[in-house]
A and B are shown apart, each in its own frame.
Chain A
């Protein structure tokens, strides 16, 4: 079964760091582009980052320089390292698979999300 499962969310103080994990099954992370999308409470969807199959990541301006998206190919697991967290980073973070060669084909496999709350 094709599946994505996130973990690692929690309550963290402003300025702190957190690492989210994304475990996949049914497909390889090196053969697919993967993305993180977040959703603040009561708000819409926001693109965070994409990691292309070749391994090069891109980031939204709002997280550039603070977040790092990388993978462990051997374990088919991806990570989002989040540093210098701010209150406006509080959200449900979804890990998901980009369908096909690029975003033109949409994002078709989503995890259930993991909640990050940045608060003192």
Chain B
């Protein structure tokens, strides 16, 4: 089975900061990697699919890259509404989610 890790597990950043989250898989998943944002008590929201494609309606400050076993999600200028937990999801095999990265605003 493919194992997934995310780092950091949590972070606190200021409005305007650039934030980067990393997702790693135990074996290559090519570019079958999606990113979601979830706020407390709400359903997840798709941000990125196919490792680097921005979902419609998602602000352009979100970007992502990577292939194989290492992937990154970046927020170029953190906004107050970007707090929440970010999950990566591999879709190469069984669609497993990473453990999540909690983002707080300082």
Contacts and interface: CB of A to CB of B under 8 A. Distances in A.
Interface string A78-120: 0000000000000000101001001111111011110000000
Interface size range on B against A? 20 to 34
Given A44-B100, A47-B95, A47-B96, A99 B46 contact: yes
A45 interface: yes
Given A102-B91, A107-B44, 18 more contacts: A35-B95, A45-B36, A45-B44, A47-B94, A47-B96, A60-B94, A94-B44, A96-B43, A99-B49, A103-B89, A103-B91, A104-B91, A106-B55, A106-B89, A107-B34, A108-B55, A110-B44, A110-B45
A106 B46 contact: yes
Interface of A: 35, 37, 44-47, 50, 60, 94, 96, 99, 102-108, 110-113
Contacts of B44: 37, 45, 94, 107, 110
B50 A46 contact: no
A69 to B, nearest CB: 14
A47 B97 contact: yes
Nearest to A59: B94
A104 B43 contact: no
